[in-house]
Structure 1
Amino acid sequence: MGTALMSWPSAQRTETEVSVSAGGDVTFKLRMAPEDQGKEYVAGLGMSGSTPGIVLGPGSFVPLNPDAVTFAGLALLPSPLLDGFQGRLDRNASASPVLHLPPGSSATLIGQTLIVAALVIEPDGRFGAGSSAVEILLDP
Protein backbone atom coordinates (compact mmCIF):
# COMPACT_ATOMS: atom_id res chain seq x y z
CA MET A 1 0.00 0.00 0.00
CA GLY A 2 1.81 3.11 1.14
CA THR A 3 3.35 4.97 4.00
CA ALA A 4 1.65 7.14 6.58
CA LEU A 5 4.05 9.48 8.35
CA MET A 6 3.76 10.23 12.06
CA SER A 7 6.41 12.87 12.55
CA TRP A 8 7.42 14.80 15.59
CA PRO A 9 5.54 16.98 16.36
CA SER A 10 2.99 16.82 13.52
CA ALA A 11 1.57 14.08 11.31
CA GLN A 12 1.78 13.83 7.56
CA ARG A 13 0.65 10.94 5.46
CA THR A 14 1.13 9.70 1.95
CA GLU A 15 -1.34 6.81 2.23
CA THR A 16 -4.73 7.70 3.68
CA GLU A 17 -6.80 4.58 3.00
CA VAL A 18 -6.69 0.80 2.86
CA SER A 19 -9.19 -1.67 1.37
CA VAL A 20 -11.03 -3.88 3.85
CA SER A 21 -11.92 -6.47 1.18
CA ALA A 22 -8.52 -6.58 -0.58
CA GLY A 23 -6.45 -6.01 2.56
CA GLY A 24 -3.09 -4.37 2.47
CA ASP A 25 -0.16 -3.03 4.41
CA VAL A 26 0.20 0.48 5.77
CA THR A 27 3.64 1.53 6.99
CA PHE A 28 3.82 4.32 9.55
CA LYS A 29 6.91 6.46 9.98
CA LEU A 30 7.27 7.37 13.63
CA ARG A 31 9.75 10.13 14.42
CA MET A 32 10.11 11.26 18.00
CA ALA A 33 12.36 13.91 19.57
CA PRO A 34 16.11 13.31 19.14
CA GLU A 35 16.56 12.76 22.89
CA ASP A 36 14.21 9.75 22.64
CA GLN A 37 16.66 7.68 20.54
CA GLY A 38 17.03 4.15 21.87
CA LYS A 39 13.95 4.36 24.09
CA GLU A 40 11.07 1.91 23.89
CA TYR A 41 7.80 2.92 22.25
CA VAL A 42 4.34 1.49 21.71
CA ALA A 43 1.83 2.42 19.00
CA GLY A 44 -1.88 2.09 19.52
CA LEU A 45 -4.91 2.24 17.28
CA GLY A 46 -8.54 3.06 17.73
CA MET A 47 -11.73 4.03 15.98
CA SER A 48 -13.09 6.66 18.38
CA GLY A 49 -11.16 9.65 17.10
CA SER A 50 -8.18 11.62 18.32
CA THR A 51 -9.90 14.44 20.19
CA PRO A 52 -9.73 15.03 23.09
CA GLY A 53 -7.11 12.26 23.37
CA ILE A 54 -5.71 11.05 26.66
CA VAL A 55 -3.19 12.37 29.18
CA LEU A 56 -1.24 9.46 30.68
CA GLY A 57 0.83 11.56 33.07
CA PRO A 58 2.93 14.72 33.17
CA GLY A 59 4.28 15.38 29.66
CA SER A 60 2.49 12.38 28.17
CA PHE A 61 -0.41 13.13 25.83
CA VAL A 62 -1.60 10.73 23.14
CA PRO A 63 -4.16 11.94 20.56
CA LEU A 64 -6.15 8.72 20.70
CA ASN A 65 -9.48 8.03 22.39
CA PRO A 66 -9.12 4.51 23.80
CA ASP A 67 -11.83 2.07 22.79
CA ALA A 68 -12.31 -1.68 22.30
CA VAL A 69 -10.06 -1.59 19.21
CA THR A 70 -7.30 0.06 21.25
CA PHE A 71 -7.44 -2.56 23.99
CA ALA A 72 -7.69 -5.46 21.53
CA GLY A 73 -4.70 -4.11 19.59
CA LEU A 74 -2.58 -3.72 22.71
CA ALA A 75 -3.57 -7.22 23.86
CA LEU A 76 -2.37 -8.61 20.51
CA LEU A 77 1.15 -7.17 20.86
CA PRO A 78 3.42 -8.51 19.61
CA SER A 79 1.41 -9.61 16.58
CA PRO A 80 2.06 -10.26 12.88
CA LEU A 81 -0.94 -7.98 12.18
CA LEU A 82 0.69 -5.10 14.07
CA ASP A 83 4.33 -5.54 13.09
CA GLY A 84 6.60 -3.16 14.96
CA PHE A 85 3.81 -1.54 16.98
CA GLN A 86 6.13 -1.92 19.95
CA GLY A 87 9.87 -1.82 20.03
CA ARG A 88 12.88 0.44 20.42
CA LEU A 89 13.44 3.70 18.58
CA ASP A 90 16.55 3.73 16.38
CA ARG A 91 19.46 6.19 16.61
CA ASN A 92 17.32 8.75 14.79
CA ALA A 93 14.48 8.29 17.32
CA SER A 94 12.48 6.68 14.49
CA ALA A 95 10.54 3.47 13.90
CA SER A 96 8.38 2.04 11.11
CA PRO A 97 5.39 0.09 12.46
CA VAL A 98 3.33 -1.76 9.83
CA LEU A 99 -0.38 -2.57 9.91
CA HIS A 100 -1.07 -5.76 7.94
CA LEU A 101 -4.82 -5.72 7.24
CA PRO A 102 -5.76 -9.18 5.99
CA PRO A 103 -8.02 -9.55 2.93
CA GLY A 104 -11.67 -10.12 3.72
CA SER A 105 -11.65 -8.24 7.03
CA SER A 106 -15.03 -7.54 8.61
CA ALA A 107 -17.38 -5.51 6.40
CA THR A 108 -18.42 -3.58 9.53
CA LEU A 109 -15.07 -1.77 9.24
CA ILE A 110 -15.94 -0.22 5.86
CA GLY A 111 -16.23 3.54 6.08
CA GLN A 112 -14.61 3.71 9.50
CA THR A 113 -11.52 5.78 10.24
CA LEU A 114 -8.64 4.10 12.04
CA ILE A 115 -6.50 6.36 14.23
CA VAL A 116 -2.89 5.40 15.00
CA ALA A 117 -0.64 7.19 17.51
CA ALA A 118 2.41 6.20 19.53
CA LEU A 119 4.19 7.11 22.72
CA VAL A 120 7.64 6.76 24.20
CA ILE A 121 8.21 4.66 27.30
CA GLU A 122 10.87 6.23 29.51
CA PRO A 123 13.68 4.06 30.93
CA ASP A 124 12.04 4.22 34.38
CA GLY A 125 8.77 2.87 32.92
CA ARG A 126 6.85 6.15 32.88
CA PHE A 127 4.95 7.14 29.75
CA GLY A 128 6.78 9.80 27.75
CA ALA A 129 5.86 12.02 24.85
CA GLY A 130 3.20 10.97 22.38
CA SER A 131 3.27 11.30 18.62
CA SER A 132 0.67 13.05 16.58
CA ALA A 133 -2.19 10.96 15.19
CA VAL A 134 -2.56 9.51 11.71
CA GLU A 135 -5.98 8.70 10.22
CA ILE A 136 -6.51 5.82 7.79
CA LEU A 137 -9.86 5.44 6.03
CA LEU A 138 -11.06 1.84 5.74
CA ASP A 139 -12.46 1.55 2.22
CA PRO A 140 -14.46 -1.30 0.66
Structure 2
Amino acid sequence: MKRLFVKALAVVLMGIALPVLGGTPAQALSTCSTKSVLPELPAMSYVCDYTVSYIVYDSRLHYFVVSSSSAHPVYHIWQVSVGGPFNSSWVSLGGTATSVVKLQNYTNTSTGRLSIEVAVRGSDNSTRYCKHYNDNIAGAWWPGATTWTSSSASCLTF
Protein backbone atom coordinates (compact mmCIF):
# COMPACT_ATOMS: atom_id res chain seq x y z
CA MET A 1 0.00 0.00 0.00
CA LYS A 2 2.85 2.34 0.87
CA ARG A 3 4.54 1.71 -2.51
CA LEU A 4 1.27 2.36 -4.36
CA PHE A 5 0.86 5.67 -2.52
CA VAL A 6 4.46 6.70 -3.38
CA LYS A 7 3.93 5.78 -7.07
CA ALA A 8 0.64 7.72 -7.18
CA LEU A 9 2.29 10.72 -5.52
CA ALA A 10 5.16 10.57 -8.03
CA VAL A 11 2.71 10.50 -10.97
CA VAL A 12 0.80 13.49 -9.57
CA LEU A 13 4.01 15.45 -8.97
CA MET A 14 5.31 14.62 -12.44
CA GLY A 15 2.00 15.75 -13.92
CA ILE A 16 2.47 19.09 -12.20
CA ALA A 17 6.22 19.48 -12.72
CA LEU A 18 6.64 18.27 -16.31
CA PRO A 19 4.45 20.92 -17.95
CA VAL A 20 6.37 23.57 -16.05
CA LEU A 21 9.77 22.10 -16.92
CA GLY A 22 8.75 21.39 -20.52
CA GLY A 23 7.65 24.96 -21.31
CA THR A 24 9.33 26.91 -24.10
CA PRO A 25 11.39 30.01 -23.32
CA ALA A 26 8.65 32.23 -24.78
CA GLN A 27 6.13 30.78 -22.34
CA ALA A 28 8.50 31.40 -19.43
CA LEU A 29 8.78 35.14 -20.14
CA SER A 30 6.75 37.35 -17.84
CA THR A 31 4.53 40.13 -19.16
CA CYS A 32 4.32 43.72 -17.92
CA SER A 33 2.34 46.77 -18.97
CA THR A 34 3.89 50.13 -19.73
CA LYS A 35 1.13 51.69 -17.61
CA SER A 36 2.97 50.53 -14.47
CA VAL A 37 6.23 52.33 -15.38
CA LEU A 38 5.09 55.00 -17.86
CA PRO A 39 1.54 55.98 -16.85
CA GLU A 40 1.48 58.93 -19.27
CA LEU A 41 1.81 56.61 -22.29
CA PRO A 42 -0.76 54.36 -23.99
CA ALA A 43 -0.79 50.85 -22.50
CA MET A 44 1.49 48.32 -24.17
CA SER A 45 2.05 44.75 -23.02
CA TYR A 46 5.74 43.91 -23.16
CA VAL A 47 8.24 41.25 -22.06
CA CYS A 48 9.36 42.28 -18.54
CA ASP A 49 12.67 40.44 -18.89
CA TYR A 50 13.65 42.75 -21.78
CA THR A 51 12.61 45.93 -19.92
CA VAL A 52 11.75 49.32 -21.47
CA SER A 53 14.62 50.93 -23.38
CA TYR A 54 14.79 54.64 -24.01
CA ILE A 55 17.05 57.19 -25.62
CA VAL A 56 17.07 60.95 -26.06
CA TYR A 57 17.31 61.58 -29.78
CA ASP A 58 16.84 64.97 -31.43
CA SER A 59 16.09 66.31 -27.89
CA ARG A 60 12.98 64.10 -27.61
CA LEU A 61 12.40 60.93 -25.59
CA HIS A 62 11.98 57.68 -27.53
CA TYR A 63 10.86 54.44 -25.82
CA PHE A 64 11.24 50.91 -27.21
CA VAL A 65 9.78 47.62 -25.94
CA VAL A 66 9.61 44.00 -27.09
CA SER A 67 5.92 43.11 -27.38
CA SER A 68 4.62 40.17 -25.38
CA SER A 69 2.71 38.93 -28.44
CA SER A 70 3.84 35.54 -29.77
CA ALA A 71 6.00 37.10 -32.52
CA HIS A 72 7.79 39.49 -30.08
CA PRO A 73 8.12 42.47 -32.45
CA VAL A 74 9.75 45.71 -31.30
CA TYR A 75 7.47 48.71 -30.66
CA HIS A 76 8.42 52.40 -30.50
CA ILE A 77 6.79 55.55 -29.16
CA TRP A 78 8.23 59.08 -29.11
CA GLN A 79 7.61 62.66 -28.06
CA VAL A 80 6.14 64.60 -30.96
CA SER A 81 7.89 67.79 -29.82
CA VAL A 82 10.65 68.63 -27.36
CA GLY A 83 9.15 68.39 -23.85
CA GLY A 84 5.74 67.79 -25.42
CA PRO A 85 3.25 64.93 -25.55
CA PHE A 86 3.97 61.48 -26.94
CA ASN A 87 2.70 59.97 -30.17
CA SER A 88 -0.85 58.69 -29.61
CA SER A 89 0.04 54.99 -30.03
CA TRP A 90 2.94 52.54 -30.08
CA VAL A 91 4.24 51.82 -33.59
CA SER A 92 5.50 48.38 -34.62
CA LEU A 93 9.00 48.17 -36.03
CA GLY A 94 8.48 44.49 -36.83
CA GLY A 95 11.07 41.81 -36.29
CA THR A 96 11.26 39.06 -33.68
CA ALA A 97 13.33 40.01 -30.64
CA THR A 98 14.76 37.73 -27.95
CA SER A 99 16.74 40.38 -26.06
CA VAL A 100 16.62 43.83 -24.60
CA VAL A 101 16.53 46.59 -27.24
CA LYS A 102 19.95 48.25 -27.54
CA LEU A 103 20.06 51.87 -28.69
CA GLN A 104 22.84 54.12 -29.92
CA ASN A 105 22.99 57.70 -31.20
CA TYR A 106 25.63 58.41 -33.85
CA THR A 107 26.44 60.93 -36.56
CA ASN A 108 25.57 59.66 -40.02
CA THR A 109 28.79 60.03 -42.04
CA SER A 110 26.98 60.43 -45.36
CA THR A 111 24.62 63.22 -44.20
CA GLY A 112 26.40 64.59 -41.13
CA ARG A 113 23.11 64.38 -39.23
CA LEU A 114 22.29 62.65 -35.98
CA SER A 115 20.96 59.11 -36.42
CA ILE A 116 19.81 56.33 -34.13
CA GLU A 117 20.50 52.60 -34.26
CA VAL A 118 18.16 50.01 -32.75
CA ALA A 119 19.57 46.49 -32.29
CA VAL A 120 18.19 43.18 -30.93
CA ARG A 121 18.91 39.46 -31.01
CA GLY A 122 16.63 37.57 -33.40
CA SER A 123 14.43 34.50 -33.04
CA ASP A 124 17.40 32.10 -32.99
CA ASN A 125 18.68 34.02 -29.92
CA SER A 126 22.08 34.63 -31.52
CA THR A 127 21.77 36.48 -34.85
CA ARG A 128 21.79 40.22 -34.25
CA TYR A 129 19.56 42.56 -36.19
CA CYS A 130 19.53 46.33 -36.44
CA LYS A 131 17.81 49.22 -38.13
CA HIS A 132 18.59 52.92 -38.33
CA TYR A 133 16.56 56.09 -38.19
CA ASN A 134 18.22 58.77 -40.29
CA ASP A 135 18.09 62.52 -40.77
CA ASN A 136 16.10 63.63 -37.74
CA ILE A 137 12.34 64.18 -37.78
CA ALA A 138 11.97 64.08 -41.59
CA GLY A 139 13.95 60.82 -41.84
CA ALA A 140 12.87 57.24 -42.26
CA TRP A 141 13.78 53.79 -40.92
CA TRP A 142 16.41 51.84 -42.84
CA PRO A 143 16.22 49.19 -44.26
CA GLY A 144 12.45 49.74 -43.90
CA ALA A 145 9.63 50.52 -41.48
CA THR A 146 9.28 46.88 -40.34
CA THR A 147 12.37 45.23 -41.85
CA TRP A 148 15.76 44.68 -40.21
CA THR A 149 19.27 43.80 -41.39
CA SER A 150 21.74 41.29 -39.94
CA SER A 151 24.70 42.74 -41.86
CA SER A 152 27.55 43.46 -39.44
CA ALA A 153 28.82 46.03 -41.95
CA SER A 154 25.58 48.01 -41.50
CA CYS A 155 25.27 47.75 -37.71
CA LEU A 156 27.41 49.69 -35.26
CA THR A 157 26.34 47.64 -32.24
CA PHE A 158 27.81 44.34 -33.53
TM-score scaled by length of structure 2: 0.25
Q: Which has the higher strand share?
A: 1
Larger Rg: 2
Q: Which has the higher helix share?
A: 2
Bigger relative contact order, structure 1 or 2, given CA contacts below 8 A and separation 6+? 1
TM-score scaled by length of structure 1: 0.27
